[in-house]
Amino acid sequence: MAYRAPEGRGYADVAAHFREQIKNGELAPGDSLPSVSEIREQFQVAAKTVSRALAVLKGEGLVASRGALGTVVAKAPVVTGANRLDRLNRNGRQYAPGETSTGHQVIQRSITDPEICAALEMEPHDEAVIRIRVFRQDGEPTTVGFSIYPPHTVAVVPELAEEGQMTTQFDKLYEQRTGQAVSRGRMRTRARLASRDEIVALEINAPIQSAIPVAYTTVTFHDEDRPLGYWEDVYAPGLGPEESA
Mean pLDDT of 165-188: 92
> Does residue 221 surpass a pLDDT of 50?
yes
Domain ranges of the chain: 11-73, 81-235
Q: What does pTM read for this prediction?
A: 0.70
Q: Over range 213-226, report the average pLDDT.
A: 93
Angle, helices 11-23/47-59, rounded to nearest 10 degrees: 40
Question: What confidence score (pLDDT) does residue 38 get?
Answer: 94
Is residue 79 scored above 80 in pLDDT? no
CATH class of 11-73: mainly alpha
- Name, in order, each residue with C-beta under 8 angstroms of 139's C-beta and a sequence gap of 6 or more: 100
Task: Judge whether 174 and 168 are in contact, CB under 8 Å.
Answer: no
* pLDDT (0 to 100) of residue 6: 42
Architecture of domain 81-235: 3-Layer(aba) Sandwich (3.40)
Q: What are the distances in angstroms from CA 102 to CA 87, 131, 164? A: 20, 12, 10
Structure-model confidence comparison of residues 127 and 167, the more confident one: 127
Residue 171 has pLDDT above 50, yes or no: yes
**Interatomic CA distance for residues 22 and 114, integer angstroms:** 38
